[in-house]
């Protein structure tokens, strides 16, 4: 097996070879086209192991290259591994890079909801997300999805990008594991799930049925909406709605926490 050569040392933050890494936070807001940023050792190891997304290059702090020699040795030939001093790395990124590990991933073609559903197993469990704008929540939901073995996540076009750097980091790399598709509105995604033979459950503090009374059976999907507004009323009216009973006057939980409870109950 051919492996990557020794890291290439970068001594100037203006070096064109690492242009894609420059001003990371600013580009997080503007987007970077077909690329996305991988940050941290755990997430990079996951990305290399799974190989689901191609990696364009890797950038590591100079003092981390020796401790990460085993990781560097597993990088396929043709993927450049760059190394820089902490000061140069911080200058490249535009902020102190405490983890000292970055990689540039390639999004690829991207899947569609129809394609994902067409390959789903008979006993599949899916999640549908509507207007999830917080990257911490997005990452937390994906982490729960991976922990409980979900077969796919469908995300509407108003939700944030699951391949955003923070969402991937919060998910502990789970965004790179669990198949997902993003686009359209939650009503259209609901139509696609129903057409594919899924029982679709909608979460709501005012849900008519208790989660505890729901049986995990056959193909199921559960929808989660943004904190506050929740799922659209037109979606709730057409589906079986479920709630988590709470005490002390509370009527809702953080959406990522809610997803963990619901998915634990429904997990196959």
Contact 163, 142 (CB under 8 A): no
Q: For residue 79, which of 53, 42, 46, 61 has the smallest C-alpha distance?
A: 53
Residue 30 above 70 pLDDT? no
Q: What is the pLDDT of residues 175-191, one digit of tens each?
A: 999 999 999 999 999 99
pLDDT bin (cut points 50, 70, 90) of residue 4 is: low
Residue 247 above 90 pLDDT? no
Alpha-carbon distance of 257 to 261, in angstroms, equals 7
Q: What is the pLDDT of residues 129-139, one digit of tens each?
A: 999 999 999 99
pLDDT of residue 228: 83
Residue 149 exposure: Cα atoms within 13 Å on the Cβ side: 8
Alpha-carbon distance of 28 to 31, in angstroms, equals 5
The residue with tokens 């998915």 is 263
User: Over the range 212-238, which residues count as b (16 or more CB within 10 Å of their CB) and which as e?
Assistant: eebeeeebbbbbbbbbeebbbeebbee
pLDDT of residue 130: 98
Higher pLDDT, 28 or 103: 103
Residue 268 above 80 pLDDT? no
Model's pTM, two decimal places?
A: 0.91
pLDDT of residue 250: 73
How would you classify the pairing of strands 8-10 and 81-84? Answer: parallel
Q: What is the pLDDT of residues 82-113, one digit of tens each?
A: 999 989 988 988 887 778 899 999 998 878 99
The C-alpha angle with vertex 193 and arms to 146 and 155, in degrees rounded to 5, equals: 50
């Amino acid at each position: 097996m051919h492996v990557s050569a020794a890291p290439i040392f970068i001594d100037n933050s203006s070096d064109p070879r690492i242009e894609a890494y420059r001003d990371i936070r600013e580009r997080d807001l503007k987007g970077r086209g077909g690329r996305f940023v991988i940050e941290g050792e755990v997430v990079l190891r996951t990305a290399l192991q799974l190989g689901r997304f191609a990696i364009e290059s890797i950038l590591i702090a100079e003092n981390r290259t020796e401790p990460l020699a085993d990781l560097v040795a597993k990088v396929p030939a043709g993927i450049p591994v760059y190394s820089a001093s902490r000061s140069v790395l911080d200058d490249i990124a535009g902020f102190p890079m405490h983890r000292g590990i970055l990689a540039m991933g390639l999004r690829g073609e991207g899947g569609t909801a129809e394609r994902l559903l067409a390959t789903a197993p008979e006993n599949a469990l899916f999640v549908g997300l509507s207007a999830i704008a917080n990257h911490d929540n997005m990452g937390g939901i994906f982490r729960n999805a991976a922990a409980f073995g979900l077969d796919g996540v469908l995300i509407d076009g108003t939700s944030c990008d699951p391949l955003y750097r923070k969402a991937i980091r919060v998910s502990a790399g789970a965004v790179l594991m669990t198949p997902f598709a993003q686009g359209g509105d939650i009503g259209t995604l609901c139509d696609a799930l129903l057409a594919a033979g899924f029982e679709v459950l909608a979460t709501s503090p005012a849900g008519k049925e208790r989660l505890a009374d729901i049986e995990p059976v056959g193909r199921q999907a559960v929808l989660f909406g943004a904190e506050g507004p929740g799922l659209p009323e037109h979606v709730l009216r057409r589906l079986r709605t479920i709630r988590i009973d709470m005490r002390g006057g509370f009527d809702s939980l953080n959406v990522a926490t809610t997803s963990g409870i619901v998915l634990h109950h429904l997990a196959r």
